[in-house]
Amino acid sequence: MSDGALSQDEIDALLAGVDSSSLGGGPAAAPMGGGGSPADVQALQGFLASTVDAQSSNLSMMTGAQVSIRGPQVSSTNRDALLSQLPDMVTVVKADFSSGFPGEHMFLIPEATAKSIASLMNKEENIELDEMAMSVLGEVISQLVGTQITSLTDKTGNKSIASVSPEAANVAKAVAALPGGEFPAAMYQLDLGDGAPNQFWEVYGSGAAADISRALSGGAAAAAAPGMGGMMPNMGAPAMAMPNMGGGMGMSNMGGSMAMPNMGGMMPNMGMGGQTNVQPVQFPSLMPHITQQETGNIGLIMDVYMEMTVELGRTRKLIKEILGMGEGTIIELDKLAGEPVDILVNHKLIAKGEVVVIDENFGVRVTEIVSPMERMSDMG
């Protein structure tokens, strides 16, 4: 910049919201700073590695090819070091965690690999990364994130983990909105069934990564179970004697033990010289109990068909409005854009979901199962 002009790299960095003073490259890997300790990186890598078999199976079912994911290799890096490993064009899929371990979370897929995945999903050669392809790639990442959230919930006990709906965009790598400072990045090896080597990266914000690593190491469980110090009374100290409620305010000293008041015949003699027999109360189970006979009866109807309906929305119209309908009439429903659709079995609501496109056909992905209490109230 001796002549005062901005280089193309500096212009791209400014568009991406990066300090131009940080340009000029960096080390391929840096010690964990904001992203956590080396132990945090190891914990994150062990967790992600435990999910790759399930991820491979999911992608194989979605694409119809024998997909294999290997790795990952997790390291602490920064923007410059990661960009140096990427091709000029990359598909960025944002899937930030909204709760549980809130923070930045994204996938970086080289353009050629993104096209290969979209081609397998759509059964179409020489595909372009248009809006439809971006939607397909978002659905692929949604499945990967869903598998991770399920596993993370099982391992940490945190049942509030959720992510935003993935959004994909194919951009120049210089304008990719990566986390600031140092952050952990996981590099995966991907085989789409053709033997050709592919790679993609998963990036976590340093805060979310540190929270996940601590939870995987048991830190969250320890924080959720604080010590009992100070909460229980001192059981070894003499207790205050209670006043005589049968007449007068006399108090007796029983050698350090609590003196029971004279309740005027209202309480039985509990024998203070001995021990009181205390037994826990046995409450009946509130969970429904399914007997072996009931299970067998259900098995008799397992092959019975039931009508399943996906309902986009409803509305009420006057007869004169219905009679006035014609081609081109727009009917406004009681659902807002983006709201989940209702899934009904024999006209009874059992779940909610979101509409997806699979091989040019509409489908619905279940996002919520209606609780038994809600189903019973609906039946009433």
Answer yes or no: do 217 and 340 share one domain. Answer: no
- What pLDDT is stored for residue 3 in this prediction? 52
Residue whose structure tokens are 């080390």: 27
Q: Measure the CA–CA gap between 380 and 373, rounded to whole angstroms.
A: 11
- What pLDDT is stored for residue 28 in this prediction? 38
* pLDDT values of the chain reduced to their tens digit, one per residue, 380 residues: 445 565 655 555 555 544 433 434 443 333 334 445 677 788 888 999 999 999 898 888 888 888 999 989 999 999 999 999 999 999 999 999 999 999 999 999 999 999 999 888 888 888 888 888 898 899 899 989 999 999 999 999 899 999 999 999 999 999 898 998 899 999 999 998 888 889 999 999 988 888 998 898 875 443 343 444 344 444 444 444 444 444 444 444 444 444 444 444 444 444 445 556 666 666 655 555 555 554 456 677 778 888 899 988 889 989 988 998 998 899 988 888 888 999 988 888 889 998 888 888 888 999 988 887 676 666 55
- What is the 3-class SS of the chain, one letter each residue? CCCCCCCHHHHHHHHCCCCHHHCCCCCCCCCCCCCCCHHHHHHHHHHHHCCHHHHHHHHHHHHCCCCEEEEEEEEEECHHHHHCCCCCEEEEEECCEEECCCECEEEEEEHHHHHHHHHHHHCCCCCCCCHHHHHHHHHHHHHHHHHHHHHHHHHHCCCCCEECCCEEEEEEHHHCCCCCCCEEEEEEEEECCCCCCEEEEEEECHHHHHHHHHHHCCHHHHHHCCCCCCCCCCCCCCCCCCCCCCCCCCCCCECCECCCCCCCCCCCCCCCCCCCCCCCCCCCCCCCCCCHHHHHHHHCCCCCCCCEEEECCCCCCCHHHHHCCCCCCCCCCCCCCCCCEEEEECCEEEEEEEEEEECCEEEEEEEEECCHHHHHHHHC
In a domain, 112, yes or no: yes
Strand ranges of the sheet holding 361-369, from the earlier edge strand across to the other edge: 308-311, 341-345, 348-358, 361-369
Q: Quick check: bond before 72 cis, omega within 30? A: yes
pTM metric for this prediction: 0.52
Nearest to 42 by CA among 214, 285, 289, 294: 214
In a domain, 32, yes or no: yes
In a domain, 28, yes or no: yes
In a domain, 129, yes or no: yes
End position of a domain, from candidates 171, 187, 222: 222
The amino acid that residue 202 corresponds to is E
End position of a domain, from candidates 222, 246, 264: 222
Answer yes or no: do 86 and 189 share one domain. Answer: yes
In a domain, 164, yes or no: yes
Q: Measure the CA–CA gap between 196 and 244, rounded to whole angstroms.
A: 90
In a domain, 192, yes or no: yes
Answer yes or no: do 122 and 213 share one domain. Answer: yes
CATH number at residue 371: 2.30.330.10
End position of a domain, from candidates 194, 222, 250: 222
CATH number at residue 21: 3.40.1550.10
For 327, the domain range is 301-379
Whether the CB-CB separation of 173 and 106 falls below 8 Å is answered with no
- Cβ neighbours of residue 345 closer than 8 Å, sequence gap 6 or more: 306, 307, 308, 309
In a domain, 248, yes or no: no
Residue whose structure tokens are 């340009």: 23
Answer yes or no: do 314 and 197 share one domain. Answer: no
- What pLDDT is stored for residue 160 in this prediction? 92
Residue whose structure tokens are 């899937």: 95
Answer yes or no: do 54 and 154 share one domain. Answer: yes
Answer yes or no: do 218 and 350 share one domain. Answer: no
- Half-sphere exposure of 98 toward its Cβ, with a 13 Å CA cutoff? 8
Name the domain count of the chain. 2
Q: Measure the CA–CA gap between 99 and 89, rounded to whole angstroms.
A: 31
Query: How far, rounded to the nearest angstrom, does the alpha carbon of residue 66 sit from its chain's CA centroid?
Result: 27
Answer yes or no: do 315 and 210 share one domain. Answer: no
Question: What angle do helix axes 206-216 and 131-156 make, rounded to 10 degrees?
Answer: 40
- What pLDDT is stored for residue 104 in this prediction? 93
Answer yes or no: do 185 and 317 share one domain. Answer: no
In a domain, 232, yes or no: no
Answer yes or no: do 86 and 191 share one domain. Answer: yes
For 312, the token pair is: 């986009």
For 96, the token pair is: 């930030």
Nearest to 203 by CA among 325, 1, 51, 48: 48
Answer yes or no: do 193 and 326 share one domain. Answer: no
Answer yes or no: do 45 and 135 share one domain. Answer: yes
Answer yes or no: do 66 and 175 share one domain. Answer: yes
